[in-house]
Amino acid sequence: MHTHIWQVNPHQPDISILSRAGDILKKGGLVAFPTETVYGLGANGLDARAVNSIYQAKGRPADNPLILHIADQSAVEKLARNIPKQAYLLMEKFWPGPLTIILARTPAVPDIVTGGLNTVALRMPQSTIALELIKLAGVPIAAPSANLSGRPSPTTAQDVLADLNGKIDVIIDGGNCEIGLESTVIDCLGEKPVILRPGGITWEMLSAVLGPVLIDPALAGDSSLKPRAPGMKYRHYAPQAPMLLIEAIQPRSYELLNTEINKALAAGKKIGLLISNSAAKSIEVNSGQILLQCYGSRLQPEQLATDLYSLLRWFDSRNVDIILAEGVEEQGLGLAVMNRMRKAAGYNILH
Ligand code: AMP
Ligand code: MG
């Protein structure tokens, strides 16, 4: 299969191009498209065969369910039932946007979308391209991130092409994704709402609307706990090089980084170093064997969120032997950034 790349202006998308892409989706094809979070790999969410081809193209385990993307809130009642009040509050506050809500499903949702669960994950994305494409397709669009399973999620059309060339019909190239991390996933079916995956809508933002919000305890990395979002149990977002994550307050993190840098250099390794600006000022980074990327402040990880996956892919493209990364503060978007960094590191963490 030849994979076409169609350039589209993210602010004023060419509707005739999106309408061709919408037709491909209607007919059961696969179209990758940009959202404000990451690039998604879309298929007609009501067509079990089309959805199956998403799993095939990505090599995604069948028990990892997909998010259905909608462009109009009236679609919610067709796909979900017994919708709690809190869910409506969230839709009102955060849709369109990077928030996925878990709800009880209706029979309209094919089993293959939900991996056999009796719940369904719904999101209304904010990006104009995504919204227009969903409207033109006229069906809910099942769309996981458009990467090979296990790899860092794609934030550019080139990232999608690197993983899925020849496996999908079209990539809509709408430039870089704004947020750079996948959506927040929240379950409000129980007594207290629970975050199953942290993302662009933060715990703080959700708590301000809902009151107390829990975080799935399995996210802390204890492998004896089973995550409630099935996808969170897999190694994920991972670069090819092994990654070591330093989680310590400053200046202790500088000492740890120094020690690990020296160890790796002594072993003749090429290092990808991903650290805060203050760490870069405080430690010695003057070897030709070190590729340095600074991400700014540990308290404001917005830029790091946007760039994280492309930096991991960049280190891979430069064939580093190890990635040493300094963690950020776990507040606001920092919670999502740390979740992805820990998974990228396979929980290889130094405290
Ligand atoms: P991705 O599409 O790659 O961003 O991953 C979607 C995430 O949502 C995965 O972690 C899934 O396991 C999770 N998810 C999708 N549907 C459900 C559901 N019905 N219940 C819980 N988690 C879900
Ligand atoms: Mg994914």
200 in any annotated domain: no
Q: Give the tens place of pLDDT for each residue, 97-134.
A: 999 999 999 999 999 999 999 999 999 999 999 999 99
In the chain, % of residues over pLDDT 70? 100
170 Cα: distance to centroid of ligand 2 (angstroms): 19
Q: Give the tens place of pLDDT for each residue, 137-149.
A: 999 999 999 999 9
Same domain as 102, residue 21? yes
Domain containing residue 111: 4-179
Atom number of ligand 1 nearest to Cα 38: 4
Same domain as 254, residue 172? no
Q: Give the tens place of pLDDT for each residue, 34-85.
A: 999 999 999 999 999 999 999 999 999 999 999 999 999 999 999 999 999 9
Q: What CATH code is carried by the domain that includes residue 166?
A: 3.90.870.10
Please report which residue ranges of the chain form alpha helices under DSSP H: 15-26, 48-58, 76-79, 85-94, 111-114, 128-137, 157-164, 203-210, 252-266, 277-282, 302-317, 334-344
Kindly state the average pLDDT of the residues 310-334.
97
Tokens for 328, please give them: 């950020």
pLDDT of 152 > 90? The answer is yes
179 Cα: distance to centroid of ligand 2 (angstroms): 15
pLDDT of 230 > 80? The answer is yes
Nearest protein Cα to ligand 1, atom 23 = 229
d(CA 270, CA 326): 17
231 Cα: distance to centroid of ligand 2 (angstroms): 8
Same domain as 174, residue 38? yes
Same domain as 248, residue 170? no
| Gyration radius (Cα) of the chain, Å | 20
185 C-beta closer than 6 A to ligand 1: yes
What's the gap between Cα 154 and its chain centre? 8
Q: What is the pLDDT of residue 6?
A: 98
Residue among 146, 147, 123, 161 at smallest CA distance from 7: 161
Residue among 32, 35, 31 at smallest CA distance from 199: 35
Number of domains the chain contains: 2
157 C-beta closer than 6 A to ligand 1: no
CA angle 130, 34, 102 (to 5 degrees): 65
pTM over 0.95? The answer is: yes
Provide the b/e sequence for 237-262 (b: ≥16 CB within 10 Å). bbbebebbbbbbeeeebbebbeebbe
